[in-house]
Amino acid sequence: MRTDVLKISTIFYIEINADMANNESMIDFTCDGFLVYSSNGRVSRIPFNAHTDCAENGFSLKSSLERTGGETRLTLSVSAESHTHILAVECALPFIKTGRERVFLNGYQSWTDTKEFGIRDRMKAPSKILGPIIEKNWLNRYADYEFQRYSGRRGDLHGATYGWVRSDGDQVSFFGSLDESTGFTFFYADLKGKTFRIVKDVEGMVLPAAAESTVLLDVFFTEGTEREAVASWFKASGISALSAKPSTGWTSWYNYYQNISEEIILGNLDAFASRGIPLDIFQIDDGYQTAVGDWLSVNDRFPNGMKHIADRIKEAGYTPGIWLAPFAGETKSKLFAEHRSWFITDDAGEPFATGGNWSAFYSLDIYNPEVRAYLKKVFDTVIHEWGFRLLKLDFLYGACIRPRDGKTRGRIMADAVALLRECAPATPILGCGVPLAQSFGTFEFCRIGTDIDLQWHNKAYGALIHREFPSTKYALQNSITRNHLDGHAFLNDPDVFLLRHTNIKLNDTQKKTIFYINNIFGSVLFTSDDIREYSDREEALYFSGFPFVHKNIISSSFTDGICEASFTAGNREYVVFSNQSPKRRTFSVPDGFWFRAAAGEVPASGEVPASGEVPASGEVRLDAATYWIPGKTDMVLSPWETVCLLRCDNLEPGIVAGSFPSAFPGTEPIRIEFTAGELKISKTGRLFSDSVFFVAVPADTVTVSFGGNCLSPAPVRTGLQGAPTVVAIRIESD
């Protein structure tokens, strides 16, 4: 049974009015309200407060506001003896006091821009100026534009599933839904009007007669730092990330897009394999199939089929990955032409478009038994016959584009994700274009931002079309602002970095910033470059990221394009400053003493001698002030520039005080041991570039050796007062 929600949503609703019990804490509040429902043609109203347990005319409601320590949980559940429609849930809370707060609001799906918003920010639906273009390309179907309110006013903002309010400092007042399976939970903040509301998307929800109690709201509140609050929320939810390891890789999309072939794929594969580059995943993206939806119909650019490609990738030592949009079928596909009844329809029974990509596309109805059988066949073929071991599953939001069959969008999305997991129970999944909550604890990896672009940001697109359009600026923003999900929900995929100089409009500074941000905040580190075309400088920068060491974020902030973060890699501590704005910015270096990483750069041999060679001066001629920086120093960064610093105070013997050309000095595959006056250096892995290590040595060091050969390393003047002697040691690449 289908219900036209738009015609009756003004009649049926739930409203909660909440008042703070303590002005100093968001988690102390009371609530009261009422519920309106329709059953058997009768409209009824039930008042309730924070602790209500009532029943009338076969309809039961129970509300609860429970506090445990520094946490509060608000729940509202209902049941009915007869067929009942629930069409809206709304909760008003006094969390906005001054309008000067910043409010983090998670975007609807992977690609939706997400950050802490302020009173000057606005959220806009696709511009009405576009008129017929919107209708032709279905630009309003990529997110929540057709079922959530977009006023376009400054400070009138909303997000999905979770968020927080920050008044000042590093403490936040956090709110997050613990159950999105009954419907998406939206949070609205009007900073000018100083109002805050929770709106549950229950469009299409029908309570079956005599069914078990249904939870309409289950919202968690706490206070603390961003990372503390998010960790508490996941603990309360009982959700944990699936077991997976951070991964490096290559994907075909951001260089060739749909114009791929067997020759292109195998040529790029050989470029990595012949150099022994330790990738984890080699992934084929869109373009191998004859049409989107016809996944098992491989086009003639792959004459030997997809099993041949997967086998070659395995022979190279990599995990073969492949892209699918499993719920999508484009207009020109055989799937759509021959099985139109398999697709989601509008009220008139016509296919309901999901978006304008390709020849326009539609989404499969996951509750259709034939659709489920078809998807299982596709997955069985791709996994078991072709042999792919990673699935990138894209455009997943389409599964819940319309509520139907008495189910909300949230319920449908949860069922859709469960179906994918059923089809691929043991094969890692990288989700993309998906409402995030349903991916928590279900996918191993998930995209947390929009696609990067070959330019920094298309302002015209930003002003006119949807928030989910490709943008390097927004991709980096989301990589930073959603970094707290990494390891709690899944491993974050920030999208690719690109270092090449062909087929790209990004400048060198921008490319290096993408490289750093993805390395620091992501757990999936892919590129799409043809490394055979790299210049020496580009190749050195690429290799400076190996070995890929996962970063543990301690703290991070991102406001107006300015990012500051502290993190650890291995047992070393770092800070990063990233100026993602078109203006010069000044950053203050934290207390301590720091080495400025020079990713991909090695000083000339005249500056740092070869191992065993002592320069005439007896000291390395290196501009120490460029690399060793004391705390409280003001650093001026150029537009789009990023700088990473290694903490190198409190040095102990054998500790690396800096290095070239690693992007993260101190993470290289070397072992340094000090015993009986001898400092021994050995490799534990491959060095891809000639490297220079600055190593702290005690005063009583007699010899320094590498690979059994005694060296005569040159001392370096670092400027660090009271530190051990630091010597420079050059080690050649493998």
Residues with Cβ within 8 Å of 112's Cβ and at least 6 positions away in sequence, in order, are 143, 450, 467, 468
Both tokens assigned to 233 = 């929320």
Q: How confident is the model at residue 51 (pLDDT cuts 50, 70, 90)?
A: confident
Q: Is pLDDT at 643 greater than 80 in this prediction?
A: yes
Q: Which residue has the tokens 């279900």?
A: 442
Both tokens assigned to 118 = 């302020």
Structural domain includes residue 669: yes
Please report, rounded to a whole number, the percentage of residues in the chain having pLDDT higher than 90. Answer: 70
The Cα 583–Cα 575 span in angstroms is 21
- More confident site: 538 or 59: 538
The Cα 628–Cα 635 span in angstroms is 12
Range of 588's domain?
569-731
Both tokens assigned to 130 = 């576009």
Q: Which residue has the tokens 């918003």?
A: 117
The Cα 636–Cα 495 span in angstroms is 28
The Cα 489–Cα 461 span in angstroms is 31
Total number of domains constituting the chain: 2
Spatial contact of 155 and 119, defined as CB atoms under 8 Å apart: yes
Q: How confident is the model at residue 93 (pLDDT cuts 50, 70, 90)?
A: confident
Structural domain includes residue 596: yes
Residue 301 DSSP class: T
Domain final residue, candidates 194, 209, 233: 233
- More confident site: 117 or 81: 117
Q: Which residue has the tokens 């309010």?
A: 165
**What secondary structure, in 3-state letters, does 431-499 show?**
ECCCCHHHHCCCCCEEECCCCCCCCCCCHHHHHHCCCCCCCHHHHHHHHHHCHHHECCCEEEECCCECC
Cα–Cα distance list, 141 to 106, 354, 678 (Å)? 18, 6, 67
CA end-to-end span of the chain, whole Å? 67
The Cα 215–Cα 61 span in angstroms is 10
The Cα 651–Cα 545 span in angstroms is 24
Both tokens assigned to 89 = 């849930």
Q: Residue 714 half-sphere exposure, CB side, CA atoms within 13 Å?
A: 22
State the average pLDDT over residues 469-498.
98
Question: Do β-strands 214-225 and 206-207 pair in parallel, antiparallel, or remain unpaired?
Answer: unpaired
- For the ranges 171-175, 214-218, 532-536, 672-676, which has the lowest average pLDDT? 672-676
Query: 3-state SS of the chain: helix, strand, coil percent to 5?
Result: 20, 35, 45
205-217 residue pLDDT tens? 998 888 788 999 9
Structural domain includes residue 127: yes
Residue 116 DSSP class: E
Q: Is pLDDT at 125 greater than 70 in this prediction?
A: yes
Radius of gyration of the chain (CA): 28
Amino acid, single-letter form, for residue 321: G
The Cα 317–Cα 270 span in angstroms is 11
Task: Report which secondary-structure segment, H or E, holds 572.
Answer: strand 572-579
Domain final residue, candidates 213, 233, 253: 233
The Cα 676–Cα 678 span in angstroms is 6
Spatial contact of 670 and 704, defined as CB atoms under 8 Å apart: no
Spatial contact of 551 and 567, defined as CB atoms under 8 Å apart: yes
Phi, psi (deg, nearest 5) at residue 515: -55, -45
Please report, rounded to a whole number, the percentage of residues in the chain having pLDDT higher than 70. Answer: 90
What angle is formed at CA 469 by the lines to CA 464 and CA 474, rounded to 5 degrees? Answer: 105
CATH number of residue 117's parent domain: 2.70.98
- Exposed, middle or buried by CB within 10 Å (0-12, 13-18, 19+), for 663? buried
Amino acid, single-letter form, for residue 479: S
- For the ranges 27-36, 151-160, 692-701, which has the lowest average pLDDT? 27-36
- For the ranges 92-106, 256-270, 519-533, which has the lowest average pLDDT? 92-106
Structural domain includes residue 83: yes
- Bridge partners of residue 445, in order along the sequence: 430, 491
Q: How confident is the model at residue 27 (pLDDT cuts 50, 70, 90)?
A: low
Phi, psi (deg, nearest 5) at residue 334: -65, -35
| pLDDT given at position 241 | 98
| pLDDT given at position 267 | 99
Structural domain includes residue 703: yes
State the average pLDDT over residues 723-732.
82
Among 575, 604, 603, CA closest to 590: 575
Structural domain includes residue 20: yes
- Bridge partners of residue 115, in order along the sequence: 105
- More confident site: 110 or 617: 110
Structural domain includes residue 423: no
Structural domain includes residue 511: no
Q: Is pLDDT at 616 greater than 60 in this prediction?
A: no
The Cα 341–Cα 334 span in angstroms is 13
Domain final residue, candidates 233, 256, 275: 233
Cα–Cα distance list, 408 to 3, 76, 85, 375, 630 (Å)? 12, 17, 12, 22, 56
| pLDDT given at position 18 | 45
Residue 139 DSSP class: G
301-350 residue pLDDT tens? 999 999 999 999 999 999 999 999 999 999 999 999 999 999 999 999 99
Q: Is pLDDT at 632 greater than 80 in this prediction?
A: yes
CA 212 to chain centroid, in Å, comes to 36
- More confident site: 23 or 367: 367
Phi, psi (deg, nearest 5) at residue 578: -130, 115
Angle between helices 472-481 and 508-521 (to 10 degrees): 30
418-473 residue pLDDT tens? 999 999 999 999 999 999 999 999 999 999 999 999 999 998 888 788 999 999 99
655-700 residue pLDDT tens? 898 999 999 999 999 998 887 778 888 999 999 998 989 888 877 7
| pLDDT given at position 388 | 99
State the average pLDDT over residues 50-79.
88
| pLDDT given at position 613 | 41
State the average pLDDT over residues 376-388.
99
Spatial contact of 365 and 343, defined as CB atoms under 8 Å apart: yes
